[in-house]
Amino acid sequence: MKFARVIGNLVATRKADGLEGVKFLIVQPLDIHREPKGEPYVAVDATQQAGMDELVFVVASKEAAFALPVDFVPVDAAVVGIVDDVDDRPLYDAEGVAWKVFLKQAE
């Protein structure tokens, strides 16, 4: 899964079987600091709720097809979640960890 930001919608008058009623979004991939990285691409909206400027996470390849209700559809990327919040704090303070507690003491 990768972070992306929704930057647009794509309207298609004809779609492959299984994609009727599925929304197409243009997403900008982001790096771990949520800055643009790479070229925008089209992803289907498996959440059916993502909108402009929202931070989302996207799956690609075969997993993208599994995100939709139809067994297999020809898609390369799918929005599978909308991000409400990101906590960038470290999981622990590396300087404050007493590493000796992880070492087995010789008896």
Q: What pLDDT is stored for residue 86 in this prediction?
A: 85
The total domain count for the chain is: 1
Residue 33 has pLDDT above 80, yes or no: yes
Mean pLDDT along residues 32-46 = 94
Tens of pLDDT, residue by residue over 52-67, are 999 999 999 988 888 8
Q: Which residue range forms the structural domain that includes residue 41?
A: 2-102
Residue 20 has a pLDDT of 87
Over the stretch 54-105, which tens digit does the pLDDT of each residue have? 999 999 998 888 888 877 889 999 999 999 988 877 666 666 665 555 555 5
Give me the residue label for tokens 């992306």.
Answer: 4
The Cα 41–Cα 4 span in angstroms is 10
Within a domain: residue 107? no
Per DSSP, 96 falls in state G
Domain CATH number, residue 96:
2.40.50.220
Residue whose token pair is 């993502």: 50
Residue 75 in domain: yes
Confidence band (pLDDT; 50, 70, 90) for 26? Answer: very high
pLDDT of residue 59: 95
Amino acid letter for position 28: Q
pLDDT over threshold 80, residue 50: yes
Query: What value does the mean pLDDT take over residues 15-27?
Result: 91
Q: What is the spatial distance between Cα 68 and Cα 18, in angstroms, rounded to a whole number?
A: 9
d(CA 55, CA 2): 10
Tell which residue, 33, 84, 34, 18, has the closest CA to residue 44: 18
